[in-house]
Amino acid sequence: MQKADLTTRAVAGFVDLLLVLGLSRLPDMIGVLSATGYILARDGLFAGRSVGKKLIGLSVATTDGAVRSARHRESIIRNTPLALAYLLFLIPYAGWALGPIALGIECLAALGDERGMRIGDLIANTWVAQPAAAATETPESHDPGI
């Protein structure tokens, strides 16, 4: 497995964000709890993949030497900073400033780390990996038929 680039991770995160926004539209506390629950458990759903990561082809793996996908425990630990940022957004005025600051710190940590690990990854000992590319294709001889 190789390190997933941040652009690919951002696309997968955007898909997950759309799902969180949809869940948060549910009535009252059901929406808040379901959106927060998805944020926390998302990387443990499909063998270390959230819905966005599954669509894009990324997975969350552990850094402890064993080649295995993240479980629900690692998912909850690694996504706690994101869930806290989401909950901060719910606080009028102060949360609208503090939520983006928390997300910005997470992004800066991922940009500054050589393996692209954000703060939640460092705490949970996980990282987002992209499966190694399949064997390189051999160029076929192309006969234009001219």
Is residue 109 in a domain? yes
Is residue 104 in a domain? yes
Sign of torsion, CA 40 45 46 51?
Answer: negative
pLDDT, tens digit (0-9, with 9 covering 90-100), for 94-145: 999 999 999 999 989 988 888 889 999 999 999 888 877 633 344 454 555 5
pLDDT, tens digit (0-9, with 9 covering 90-100), for 61-79: 888 766 678 889 999 999 9
**Domain limits at 99?**
2-130
Q: Name the domain count of the chain.
A: 1
Is residue 114 in a domain? yes
Is residue 146 in a domain? no
Is residue 136 in a domain? no
pLDDT at 143: 53
Is residue 99 in a domain? yes
Is residue 54 in a domain? yes
